[in-house]
Amino acid sequence: MSEPRYPNESSEYRDARDLLLKEERELVDKVKAVAAKRRNLPLGGQLKQDYVFQWANDGKVGKSVKFSELFADKNTLLLYSFMYGPNWDNPCPSCTSLVDGFDRSSYQVTQHAAFVAIAKAPADRINAWAKKRGWSQIALVSGSDSSYQADYKCQRDSDDMQLPVMHVFRRQAGKIYHFWGTELPSNHVDTVWPYWNLMDFTPEGRPDIPTPPQNFRSEFLEENYLKKK
């Protein structure tokens, strides 16, 4: 039995904590092992076409940008497609929660790789939402006139039936290849979602709710995905 490490903790707590600590170490090791296997994936398919998007950041809203230009001076591109279709009243609250975190992580990430968030809504509406949320760091583009989301499985059978998908692309020898994409049916980006990860540390755990708490509603999402008002 190890000595108590925190004020007034019981030996029962310490024994249970030490057992859990062993599993936490195993989990970290597993995450690292999976990441290593991901890095060693064979070369994926070459980019179907050099898609043309529209910038949605202040100062260049609506200006065209090619897929290849999103890399800037990097050879790796993380491209997160968030759920905001052309006829949605508001984006998905869960995707919004993710991009809230991505925006503040963008500075560090872009020291090593390009990082862009894309949605199917028009550029001016994405920009308006970014202002409301305070997004100021992450690069934002609209794929409203592109087939990218359909080609790379970021939507169902229409432009409004969007899905949350993270893709990673690699530029090599002057060509662009798909490296990896989230293909799990749910909780596909949990490892980079601050909200769920922080709630996992609490005694209550993750709330039994379909989307994280927000000060807005997405009626399109509720009606077409969650099937409740």
Per residue in 7-32, pLDDT (tens digit) is 999 999 999 999 999 999 999 999 99
Q: Distance of alpha carbon 104 from its chain centroid, rounded?
A: 13
Q: Given this model, what pLDDT does residue 3 score?
A: 66
Q: What is the mean pLDDT of residues 209-224?
A: 94
The per-residue pLDDT of the chain, averaged, comes to: 95
Task: Give the H or E element holding residue 178.
Answer: strand 175-181
Instruction: Give yes or no for a contact between 114 and 71, defined as CB atoms under 8 angstroms apart.
Output: yes
What value does the mean pLDDT take over residues 144-163?
97
Instruction: Write out the two tokens for 118.
Output: 């894309």
The pLDDT tens digits of the residues spanning 161-198 come to: 999 999 999 999 999 999 999 998 776 788 899 999 99
Distances (CA, A) of 28 to 24, 31, 154: 6, 5, 29
Residue 188 has a pLDDT of: 75
> Which of 161, 154, 142, 143 lies closest to 88, judged by CA?
161
Is the backbone of residue 153 left (phi > 0), alpha (psi -120 to 50) or beta?
left
53 by Cβ neighbours in 10 Å (0-12 / 13-18 / 19+) ranks as buried
Per-residue burial over 166-201, b = 16 or more CB atoms within 10 Å of its CB, e = otherwise: bbbbbbeeeebebbebbeeeeeebeeebebbeeeee
Helix axes 123-133, 93-109, angle to 10 degrees: 80
Lowest mean pLDDT among 1-5, 72-76, 116-120, 149-153: 1-5
CB burial class (10 A; 0-12, 13-18, 19+) of residue 224?
Answer: middle
Q: CA-CA distance, 194 to 184, in Å (whole number)? A: 19
